[in-house]
Amino acid sequence: MTEISSLTIAQAGRLIAARELSPVEYTDALLARITALDPIYHAFIAVTADIARAEARAAEAAIARGNRRGPMHGIPYALKDIFDVAGLATTCHSKLRAGHRATADATVVHRLREAGAVLLGKLSLHEFANGGPTLELPWPAARNPWNTDLHPGGSSSGCGTAAALGLAPATLGTDTGGSVRNPATCCGVIGMKPSYGAVSRAGVFPLAFSLDHVGPITRTVEDNAILFQTIAGHDPADPASARRAPADCLAGLRQGIKDLKIGVIAHFYEEDMAADPQQVAAIADAIALLQRLGAEVKPVRLSPLATWMDCGRIIHYAEAYAIHERDLQERPEDFASITRRRLLSGAFIAASDYVKAQQLRTVLREEYAAMLAEVDALITISSFDLPCRIDDESEIARTYERQCRMPFNVAGAPAISVPTGFSRDGLPLAMQITGRTFDEAMVYRVAWAYCDAAGWCERRPPIVEPALA
């Protein structure tokens, strides 16, 4: 059998269903791996070993009785520490939340419990999902699994690290301006930001109400679709939740992409902002592969990247400041400096500018929808730069917003980050695939076809052995 920490959700699910893999054995193996490796990589803020073992035993007993609930039954998962789990702290990786205890599960946690999944613990993040890679936090910052001197992307940093290292086959993060797709990009895994309203945010600490999304990070596209299917669907507790059933993203996953029309938003990274040549070369190779798979690929144009970024930034900063205004006034010293600077910038955004940004957003969303009436999916770059050192504050500040992810938060459209190769130094490269609102099925279809042909998801980071750390 494949080494247990390398099992995908789909593989483990089939073995569990066939009674060839015990959920208890699986959970114990991952807890042992976390114990061995997490002191080096710091993906976890809290490991919930007792909960995990109890849920694994319950899953094993239910499956033995013939009551298997689906593909996530008995599968371990971990959460960015921004999701409420009844009885546990939701720290948001901040000193301000150290004494917090949740009284109820977030909706997505409830759905995972109902599916029989097994909670391994809570994962590291940028403070309140808004700061940036910094060592100035109550718990150690997560490290890049390909090079521990580098940052792993954020804000869902622990999700990317845990998924890449095989510490958890399923992880859940949040994405307001790219915070699921950025760690997926930096860690060489799959990160999906679903359509706005496709997944409930009830019980998730907010960053910016009109831009926040919950999304899965996994090692394969199929696993990502399985996790998305488990958590998606209408929730009356989230006012923005869409009143529609999620599409079946697994039924057509392997249909291929022959004769599909795919647009390339190349001006984002060729004209609007200069990208690392290695990122550009990798997406060029990806385009060639998509063409060999039978897709019709052509360049398309949207509004300049700066227009999308400025629109999203104003909305993000204004809404984030509204959430944290009281603590910024009363306890500013308890925020990390990078978080405090970012949050305080929202205090200087005029109400008129916020309203204009929301009006512009409507125009941009209409533009995006019109473009997707002409093609089945779009692709573009994810990050312009490779990850820098986690302790290089000036380089972090320079590169933090050099990315193409915010446009799809503004559009509210599904967007997935997939690996496109590796740099000369062995760091992951990536692109995004995006599609029509609530057409996650098409996005997953294109992503699966590309990743299956390219094979980059099969590569694993070199492990730093504990004795050598």
Local structure of 122: helix, strand or coil? strand
Percent of the residues in the chain that have a pLDDT greater than 90, as a whole number: 94
- Mean pLDDT score, 192-214: 98
**Is 467 part of a structural domain of the chain?**
no
- Mean pLDDT score, 369-394: 97
How many Å apart are CA 453 and CA 72, to the nearest integer?
26
Q: Residue 445: is its pLDDT beyond 80?
A: yes
Active site residue 394: no
How many Å apart are CA 29 and CA 337, to the nearest integer?
38
Average per-residue pLDDT in the chain? 96
Predicted confidence at residue 135, as pLDDT, reads 87
Q: Residue 139: is its pLDDT beyond 70?
A: yes
How many Å apart are CA 140 and CA 134, to the nearest integer?
9
Predicted confidence at residue 131, as pLDDT, reads 81
Q: Residue 469: is its pLDDT beyond 70?
A: no
Supply the CATH number for residue 234's domain: 3.90.1300.10
Burial of 156 (0-12, 13-18, 19+ CB in 10 A): buried
Q: Residue 2: is its pLDDT beyond 60?
A: no
- The catalytic residue among 155, 200, 210, 382 is 155
For the chain, the C-alpha Rg in angstroms (whole number) is: 21
- The catalytic residue among 22, 94, 156, 179 is 179
Predicted confidence at residue 257, as pLDDT, reads 98
**Is 106 part of a structural domain of the chain?**
yes
Q: How many degrees, rounded to 5, is the angle at CA 301 between CA 299 and CA 306? A: 130
**Is 468 part of a structural domain of the chain?**
no
Predicted confidence at residue 432, as pLDDT, reads 98
- Mean pLDDT score, 451-466: 92
Local structure of 433: helix, strand or coil? strand
Q: Could you tell me the residue range of the domain that residue 129 belongs to?
A: 4-461
Predicted confidence at residue 464, as pLDDT, reads 83
- Mean pLDDT score, 113-135: 95
Indicate the pLDDT class of residue 434, thresholds 50, 70 and 90.
Answer: very high
- Mean pLDDT score, 58-73: 97
Predicted confidence at residue 98, as pLDDT, reads 84
Of 40-49, 310-319, 390-399, minimum mean pLDDT range: 390-399
Count up the domains in the chain and report the number: 1
- The catalytic residue among 5, 22, 80, 195 is 80
pTM of the model as a whole: 0.97
Active site residue 261: no
How many Å apart are CA 284 and CA 270, to the nearest integer?
12
Tens of pLDDT, residues 141-165: 999 999 999 999 999 999 999 999 9
Predicted confidence at residue 467, as pLDDT, reads 56
**Is 169 part of a structural domain of the chain?**
yes
**Is 469 part of a structural domain of the chain?**
no
Indicate the pLDDT class of residue 324, thresholds 50, 70 and 90.
Answer: very high
Predicted confidence at residue 468, as pLDDT, reads 45
Of 43, 45, 1, 47, give the one whose Cα is nearest residue 20: 1
Active site residue 382: no
How many Å apart are CA 273 and CA 305, to the nearest integer?
8
